Amino acid sequence: MADFPILGDIGAEEFLADYWQKKPLLVRGAITDFEPPVDGDELAGLALEPEVESRLIVGSDWQMEQGPFDESRFASLPPSNWSLLVQAVDLWVPEVAELLQHFGFLPPWRIDDIMVSYAEDGGGVGPHFDYYDVFLLQGSGRRKWQIGQHCDSNSPVADNANLKILADFAATDEWILEPGDMLYIPPKVAHWGTAVGDCTTFSIGFRAPAATEMLDDLATELLSRGQAPTFLTDPPLRPEMARASISPAYIAQVRSLLLETLNDDQLLAEWFAQYMTEPKYPMLLDETGEKRTASVQTFESDGSAVISHYENGLKA
């Protein structure tokens, strides 16, 4: 018996070594007799609430509308070809949060949220890729999933105002997922889900911050610490350098100052634990009861290890 039944016959160690962030994995019957904890009506109800993040994707050209929605909007939708996406349903429905218990082989602070989608026949978000890992767990009904090529920021996208729909999609595999089946998609792998009849899909998504976002947050952290700043110094100068273009020696100075600033294990460890436990919706903590935790090990100057705990972006 596998250690995490949601991975089917594959052990967690093998999954992490061979599939995670590398290649897709289809697991039939990942959850046996799966009873989806929310249905389309409940999702529509959530999408009426202003604090809940939701989107409608309508038509064969995937036009996106941002929630919250009016009940009248649902009444005027076509009989097919649309999908409702509700973000972070785990924060609003405890039974959905319980699904996260199946993913104990991954650090909890890597989890972003569980997005749940309801789609009528033909509905979906079109062919696209993401920069994060996702497990697509089929709720009610059936959905056809196609996976395709590896993409990156140079992959051509169609001219669609709000969604990054791939201009080219070359399907390499195709499956129909039934209730309780699950498909893991690594970052940058093209995928395209299309509802076969009405269905719900639970997308367990992971957080992968961009280097730029991390530098931004780390800079804010450094500023807030109020430490004396270190300043750029000149490389050895010669008079003719005054009117020449900026010399590579200057750039080398800049790089070494920046790297020196980053080359601080304690700073990085404390900041990263803080950063990765920041709540998804900091302004809604009272309502969601969101709780993100991580612990991190640092070393004192005498070499002794210290474990610090972080919760919701704060040292506990």
Q: How far apart are CA 174 and CA 282, in angstroms?
A: 39
Sheet containing strand 293-299, strands side by side: 293-299, 305-311, 314-315
Rounded distance, CA 316 to CA 308, Å?
8
Where on the chain is the footprint of Mn ion (CB under 5 A)? 130
CB atoms within 10 A of CB 53: 20
Tokens 């590398």 found at:
22
Q: How far is the CB of 306 from Mn ion (least distance, A)?
A: 39
Q: How many residues does the chain have?
A: 316
Closest chain position to Mn ion (CB): 130
What backbone torsions phi and psi does residue 12 show, to the nearest 5 degrees? Answer: -60, -40
Min dist CB 128 to Mn ion, Å, is 6
At 134, is the secondary structure helix, strand, or coil?
strand
Residue 104 in 3-state DSSP?
coil
* Residue with Cβ nearer Mn ion (130 or 133): 130
